[in-house]
Chain A
Amino acid sequence: DTGVSQNPRHKITKRGQNVTFRCDPISEHNRLYWYRQTLGQGPEFLTYFQNEAQLEKSRLLSDRFSAERPKGSFSTLEIQRTEQGDSAMYLCASSLELAWGPEQYFGPGTRLTVT
Chain B
Amino acid sequence: AQTVTQSQPEMSVQEAETVTLSCTYDTSESDYYLFWYKQPPSRQMILVIRQEAYKQQNATENRFSVNFQKAAKSFSLKISDSQLGDAAMYFCAPNFGNEKLTFGTGTRLTIIP
Residues in chain A within 8 A of chain B (CB atoms): 31, 33, 35, 40-45, 48, 55-56, 91, 93, 100-101, 103-109
Contact = CB atoms under 8 A, between A and B. Distances in A.
Interface residues of B, number: 24
11 contacts: A40-B105, A41-B106, A42-B4, A43-B103, A48-B100, A56-B100, A93-B101, A100-B52, A101-B95, A104-B35, A106-B45
Contacts of A105: 47
Contacts of B93: 42
B78 interface: no
A101 B44 contact: no
A107 B44 contact: yes
A56 B98 CA distance: 9
Nearest to B9: A40
Given A42-B91, A108-B43, A103 B102 contact: no
B64 interface: no
Contact of A42 (B50, B95, B99, B105): B105
Given A42-B105, A91-B45, A108-B44, A103 B35 contact: yes
A93 to B, nearest CB: 8
Interface of B: 4, 32-33, 35, 37, 43-47, 50, 52, 91, 93, 95, 98-106
A101 B33 contact: yes
B44 A106 contact: yes
Nearest to B42: A108
A31 B91 contact: no
A31 B45 contact: no
Contacts of A101: 32-33, 50, 52, 95
B99 A56 contact: yes
Nearest to B44: A108
A2 to B, nearest CB: 13
A55 B101 contact: no
